[in-house]
Amino acid sequence: MTDSTQPLGGPRVWTTLITNTNYLSGLLTLDYSLKKVGSKYPLIALYTDAFPAEGHAALDARGILKRHVPYLLPSVSKDYTNDVRFYDCWSKLTPFSLVEYDRVVQLDSDMVALQNMDELMDLELDAPELDGTGNRVFAASHACVCNPLQKAHYPKDWIPANCAFTTQHNDPESAQTTGAPPTAGLGMPNGGLQVVNPSKGTYDKISAQLASSTASNYDFADQSLLGDVFNGRWVAIPYIYNALKTLRWKGVHDAIWRDENVKNVHYILSPKPWDEWHAQQRGEQAQDSEKSKDPSHAWWISLNEERIEAEKAQGLNDRF
């Protein structure tokens, strides 16, 4: 691409979806972490109509790039009362449509980069011209289907024996550099990190599925759709790029987890580390729902406090 035709941020970017200010502290710390580890590529906040003015002001004050995206929903709705976050997750499919970019790596806002992972911008994927018909349509890490919190509304087949990560327990060293096959376990990617070569043809397939009644059967929104439409035709990258905090827990996948190798931590489920941090700042004792015994939360809190001190030195001091 020539400079005159380069899209916002350049031809290769990180993106993250933001629909409200509940995740804004997460987004700001994610952006800070990417810069701290020396990424050459900018983060773009993909915001929907619901994102409020105070959120825009926070992004603008920090020079974080942003662009409006539509709020995606399937034509036949599914009841996500037990996991309302999934209503927003459909919009994480948007990067497949951003055809002005050569490469988009979508990140969840409840992540922090601990090491540089710019190599994801060069990971081999199918050319856009294949329109989603090849065997390397996108890249992601597997979803963990162990259901360690024993949530009753999760599918009955979400058990350790059906988890792709379980298949790697006997060779933890390989698990640091290689993902299990995309068909391992239940064959579902986690939607928190997606490496995408945007393509109209690929997005048309996604849109067609959103418009079909099949989408109403997807328990996990975007990642269920991707695992279904592109079953076995995606690149499974190792857990280190989307290190779900629960993998580290004893008896889940601590057999493969290595702190020193993790490049990107994903703070799935509640509480979020910023829930604890905000409670601390208010001088309150965290409620039971805001407490965590997960030591990985301290990593986020440390980065967040470092970010805030750096911003204060620049005269920026808002509640985020």
121 part of a folded domain? yes
pLDDT of residue 293: 64
N-to-C CA span, the chain: 36
Nearest Cα residue to 113 out of 198, 169, 31: 31
39-49 b/e (C-beta count within 10 Å ≥ 16 → b): bebbbbbbbbe
Number of domains forming the structure of the chain: 1
52 part of a folded domain? yes
Mean pLDDT of 49-66: 97
Q: Return the H-helix or E-strand segment holding 278.
A: helix 273-281
Task: Tell me the pLDDT band of 84, cut-offs 50, 70 and 90.
Answer: low
Task: Tell me the pLDDT band of 87, cut-offs 50, 70 and 90.
Answer: low
pLDDT of residue 276: 86
13 part of a folded domain? yes
Nearest Cα residue to 190 out of 158, 229, 142: 142
Cβ atoms of residues 97 and 70 within 8 Å: no
Cβ atoms of residues 238 and 179 within 8 Å: yes
Q: How far is CA 196 from CA 133, 137, 161, 192, 236, in A?
A: 14, 8, 29, 13, 13
Task: Tell me the pLDDT band of 280, cut-offs 50, 70 and 90.
Answer: confident
Look at 81-85, 107-111, 178-182 and tell me which has the smallest mean pLDDT.
81-85
* Most confident listed range (76-85, 124-133, 211-220): 124-133
pLDDT of residue 190: 96
Q: Which residues contact 177 (CB under 8 A, 6 or more apart)?
A: 238
How does the average pLDDT of the chain come out, rounded?
A: 92
Amino acid letter at 256?
I
**60 vs 46: CA distance, rounded Å:** 13
Q: How far is CA 145 from CA 52, 118, 128, 228, in A?
A: 34, 28, 30, 15
pLDDT of residue 272: 93
Which residues are bridge partners to 104 per DSSP? Answer: 13, 196
Q: What is the DSSP string of 103-170?
A: EEEEE-TTEEESS--GGGGG-----GGGTT-SS-SEEEPBPP---TT--TTS-TT-SGGG-GGGGGTT
* φ/ψ bin of 74: left (φ > 0), alpha (ψ from -120 to 50), beta (otherwise): beta
| Locus of tokens 């003015």 | 53
Mean pLDDT of 29-52: 97
- Residue 152 is part of a domain; what is its CATH number? 3.90.550.10
Give per-residue pLDDT as tens, 199-248.
999 999 999 999 998 888 888 889 999 999 999 999 999 999 999 999 99
311 part of a folded domain? no
Give per-residue pLDDT as tens, 240-258.
999 999 999 999 999 999 9
298 part of a folded domain? no
What sign does the dihedral 36-235-226-208 (CA atoms) show? positive
**71 vs 74: CA distance, rounded Å:** 10
- Measured in degrees and rounded to the nearest 5, phi and psi for residue 43 equal -95, 130
Cβ atoms of residues 27 and 16 within 8 Å: yes
Q: Three-state DSSP class for 20?
A: coil
289 part of a folded domain? no
Give per-residue pLDDT as tens, 282-298.
776 555 444 556 889 99
281 part of a folded domain? no
pLDDT of residue 292: 59
277 part of a folded domain? no
Domain limits at 191? Answer: 3-271
